[in-house]
Amino acid sequence: MNGAKRGASRATTIIDIAKVAGVSKSTVSLVLKDSPLVKPGTRQRVNQAIEQLGYVYNRSAASLRTSKSSFVGMVISDLMNPFFAELAVGIEDELNDFGFVPILANTNENVDRQARVLQSLLEHGVAGVIMSPANGTDAWTLAATLPRSLPVVLTMRRVEGSPLPYVGPDNRTGACRAVRHLIGLGHRRIAFIGGFGTMTTQSERLSGYFDALQEAGLQRDETLIFDAAPTRNGGMDAAARALAHSGRPTAAFCFNDIVAIGVTRAIALRGLRVGADIAVIGFDDVVGAEHNLPPLTTVSADTRLMGARAARGLLGLIEGADPATASFTGETRLVIRESCGAQQETIGGTT
């Protein structure tokens, strides 16, 4: 057992704590291990003594014995996308309630960095990991990196062939809903903008886009699919290509909101009106979607709730639940604002 007193000369020991709390050394030890054997009143006295003496429990030492950690790793692929920050906040809120300390590591879509991050989380003995895999992650590498004993939940991006539990929105139905709305507004040439074919999220959303076209008896036109980095600049670049298309689309369904924000910006820069001249719909409903000019119509999967579900799934695994129970597919809903042109009069007010 080991402790470090806050800025003092001699390290506080559990003997000191036991004296102050008026309990035995082993009772202090039980409290430190979160044992259910200690009565609430006693636990409170010990914790007060710990507080008073400024004792820091050395969990590195403890985790060797108990293999328990308060850390839960959240491994995300792109911290610059506000969507992931919102997801992380949803995860955090849930984990905090259960006494875990969520720590976030950003892989920046780099599989090598992801491998180092996972390795380091394992070395520090985290209690579990929630990860949104970097683009290019394969099931085999993931299985080879993560010990089977470690509770892991994948979120937002499936890894084909991986048996790990997965929490994410119903991308296909959500995308179908958005494109159906555009068709209902009279659009026939609808672009799909953003993401890459290697991303499972793109193929799921693209499937929904095709579903809606098929429902309406519209022909697929592969030239209306514009791959691009899932970023604001990716959206701007792809929009420039879409606007230069000989059969220019009258509407764009975007891979995500930051792509859609870039698309609306590119349209405005050309003196065209988003909504009136070209309809735009995003996906995610990030906080910035509502504050975009014009406010973005988008598919919400209730990001924070999704984060909370991933966290609850992981907490279940930590407690030994069947991995099958940790998976969850979230319903989506279309949030109609101004960028789709359904509310023309509102758009008029801002120009």
Binding site for a copy of itself (CB under 8 A): 2, 4, 6-7, 54, 56-61, 63-64, 69-71, 73, 79-80, 82, 85-86, 88-89, 92, 96, 101-106, 108, 113, 116-117, 119-125, 143-149, 232, 261-262, 264-265, 268-269, 271, 287-288, 291-293, 349-351
**Minimal distance in Å, beta carbon 83 to a copy of itself?**
11
DSSP 240-278: HHHHHSTT--SEEEESSHHHHHHHHHHHHHTTPPBTTTB
Backbone angles phi, psi at 219, to 5 degrees: -75, 145
Q: Quick one: 2 or 325, whose CB is closer to a copy of itself?
A: 2
**Minimal distance in Å, beta carbon 170 to a copy of itself?**
25
| Beta bridge pairs of residue 225 | 192
Q: Is 172 helix (H, G, I), strand (E, B) or coil?
A: helix
Q: Quick one: 18 or 50, whose CB is closer to a copy of itself?
A: 50
**Minimal distance in Å, beta carbon 284 to a copy of itself?**
14
**Minimal distance in Å, beta carbon 273 to a copy of itself?**
9
Q: What tokens does 215 get?
A: 């429902």
C-alpha neighbours within 13 Å on the C-beta side of residue 56: 9
**Minimal distance in Å, beta carbon 149 to a copy of itself?**
8
137 dihedral zone (left: phi>0; alpha: psi -120 to 50; beta): beta
Do 264 and 296 form a contact (C-beta atoms < 8 A)?
Answer: yes
Residue 25 neighbours by CB under 8 Å, 6+ apart:
14, 15, 18
Q: Quick one: 86 or 237, whose CB is closer to a copy of itself?
A: 86
**Minimal distance in Å, beta carbon 293 to a copy of itself?**
4
Q: Quick one: 171 or 298, whose CB is closer to a copy of itself?
A: 298
Q: Quick one: 85 or 336, whose CB is closer to a copy of itself?
A: 85
Which residue in 231, 299, 300 sits closest to 265, CA to CA? 231
Q: Quick one: 100 or 210, whose CB is closer to a copy of itself?
A: 100
Q: For residue 192, count other CB atoms closer than 10 A to its CB.
A: 27
